[in-house]
């Protein structure tokens, strides 16, 4: 059996975030390929951590800036190492390259962390993105990490285009791997989806450690929900999500029918019972898991141009997405978001048409369209890893030079701690 070592940024929580669901799908994909998996992480455990031991995956606790990881990986000798986010590759990549030079190194980006960061900065400064934003430290660090790895997983069409065409990252070290749905599930999802008359209220759901989610809830509270609640007197807005801070729970107001529910024991149930999923995201990156989840449950969504980003390649125009493809409605202005939400909530014919579009959208994300090709690419790269790396001379240069500073800093911290 081949060995896979996953080094996690956090322990996977598929019931808390789309990132956790994505990681669980990756783990199951490697298990199906007969890999022996070890999941290692330096973060503290949460009560929501997925019990992956039940799948036969080994759990390992590791430390940052500590030579004990060297002993750990020398003993394990993995064939593949998967870094969960670029910060993890920065921390452990040089150790992996030193002690297991023949291990295939994969970077799981989830979304482009740096893109989300610079967009958040620009949004808070009430300005568009500028060329200088792409020269920020975080962007350069993430790009360097992508170049150093043998393969990086990109979840969004938009980010694939950005990396290849703007940043000139070679396509052969990138793999487009979005959220997927099992082929055999598609018909079942459509059959199980609740109809219009069996649903009520609006829902927002998202992990509150994620800044775009907090901003969206504040936008709902201050601008969008007051407009909706005036027109639909009996509807409620239910706010769900893991790790709500006090600033989130303080927004709870039964008189306004704005109900902060916090952690959802069954996220699928709360979205499946809602008539509309509201997701007025004003910045972010990647694919928005809450919208993919809503599609799977047949719940029409009202979102923004940020929300729909990455679901289609550049050949499909934004207007076509808005008018023809999206299972719900797309708007960026608070008044327009509210009016579309009200119309969709009250109009059964319009609502049903939106639900039907969800099944068409999910056809684009069939597991069979992505996972077999992904597994084949990993196998092909492993068979001739030297030739693969020889095509990425910039990555080799970055591995040689930029990781030295990270290595020496880690060694200095380890010596200091000792």
Entry pTM? 0.93
Predicted confidence at residue 403, as pLDDT, reads: 61
The 10 Å Cβ neighbour count of residue 217 is: 25
DSSP state of 199: -
Q: What is the DSSP string of 116-144?
A: HHHHHHHHHTT----GGGGGSHHHHHHHH
Assigned token pair, 306: 């940020």
Predicted confidence at residue 293, as pLDDT, reads: 96
Q: Which residues of the chain have pLDDT under 70?
A: 402-404
Assigned token pair, 299: 């719940």
Predicted confidence at residue 413, as pLDDT, reads: 84
Contact predicate 107/149, CB 8 Å: yes
Q: How many CA atoms lie less than 13 Å away from 98 in the CB half-sphere?
A: 15
Bridge partners of 259? Answer: 238
Predicted confidence at residue 324, as pLDDT, reads: 86
CB burial of residue 154 (10 Å; 0-12, 13-18, 19+): buried
- Is the Cα dihedral 241, 318, 358, 195 positive or negative? positive
- The three state secondary structure string of 14-50 is CCCCHHHHHHHHHHHHHHHCCEEEEEEECCCCCCCCC
**CA 263/CA 269 separation, integer angstroms:** 13
- Is the Cα dihedral 13, 19, 23, 24 positive or negative? positive
Predicted confidence at residue 402, as pLDDT, reads: 61
225-252 confidence digits (pLDDT tens): 999 999 999 999 999 999 999 999 999 9
Q: Which residues of 305-315 are buried (b: 16+ CB within 10 A; e: fewer)?
A: ebbbbbbbeee
Predicted confidence at residue 361, as pLDDT, reads: 94
**CA 395/CA 406 separation, integer angstroms:** 16
Predicted confidence at residue 234, as pLDDT, reads: 93
Length of the chain counted residue by residue = 418
**CA 318/CA 299 separation, integer angstroms:** 21
Contact predicate 127/119, CB 8 Å: no
Bridge partners of 328? Answer: 301
Torsion of CA 142, 145, 146, 149, to 10 degrees: -160
62-100 confidence digits (pLDDT tens): 999 999 999 999 999 999 999 999 999 999 999 999 999
Q: What is the DSSP string of 51-80?
A: -GGGGTPEEEE--TT-THHHHHHHHH--SE
- Of all residues in the chain, what percent carry a pLDDT higher than 90? 88
Contact predicate 240/203, CB 8 Å: yes
């Amino acid at each position: 059996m081949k060995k896979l070592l996953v080094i996690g940024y956090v322990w996977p929580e598929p019931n808390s975030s789309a990132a956790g669901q994505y990681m669980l799908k990756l783990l199951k994909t490697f298990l199906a390929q007969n890999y022996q998996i070890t999941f290692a992480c330096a973060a503290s455990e949460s009560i929501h951590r997925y019990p992956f031991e039940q799948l036969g995956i080994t759990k390992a606790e590791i430390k940052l800036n500590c030579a004990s990881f060297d002993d750990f990986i020398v003993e394990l000798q993995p064939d593949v190492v998967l870094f969960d986010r670029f910060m993890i590759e920065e921390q452990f990549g040089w150790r992996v390259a030193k002690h297991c030079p023949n291990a295939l190194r994969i970077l799981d980006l989830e979304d482009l962390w740096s893109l989300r960061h610079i967009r958040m900065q620009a949004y808070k400064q009430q300005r568009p993105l500028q060329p200088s934003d792409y020269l920020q430290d975080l962007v350069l660090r993430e790009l360097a990490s992508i170049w150093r790895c043998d393969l990086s997983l990109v979840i969004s069409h938009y980010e694939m285009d950005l990396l290849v065409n703007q940043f000139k990252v070679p396509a052969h070290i990138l793999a487009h791997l979005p959220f997927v749905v099992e082929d055999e599930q598609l018909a079942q999802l459509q059959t199980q989806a609740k109809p219009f008359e069996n649903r009520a209220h609006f829902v927002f759901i998202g992990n509150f450690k994620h800044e775009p989610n907090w901003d969206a809830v504040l936008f709902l509270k201050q601008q969008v929900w007051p407009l909706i609640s005036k027109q639909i007197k009996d509807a409620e807005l239910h706010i769900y999500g893991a790790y709500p801070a006090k600033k989130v729970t303080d927004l709870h107001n039964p008189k306004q029918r704005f109900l902060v529910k916090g952690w959802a024991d069954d996220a699928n149930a709360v979205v499946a019972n809602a008539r509309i999923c509201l997701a007025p995201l004003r910045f972010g990156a990647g694919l928005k898991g809450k919208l993919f989840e809503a599609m799977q449950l047949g719940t029409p969504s009202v979102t923004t141009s940020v929300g729909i980003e990455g679901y289609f390649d550049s050949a499909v125009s934004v207007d076509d997405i808005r008018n023809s493809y999206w299972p719900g409605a797309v708007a960026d202005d608070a008044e327009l978001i509210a009016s579309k939400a009200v119309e969709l909530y009250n109009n059964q014919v319009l609502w049903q048409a939106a639900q039907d579009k969800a099944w068409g959208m999910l056809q684009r994300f069939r597991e069979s369209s992505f996972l077999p090709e992904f597994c084949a690419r990993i196998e092909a790269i492993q068979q001739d890893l030297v030739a693969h790396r020889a095509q990425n001379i910039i990555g080799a240069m970055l591995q040689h030079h930029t990781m030295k500073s990270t290595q020496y800093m880690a060694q200095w911290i380890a010596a200091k701690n000792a």
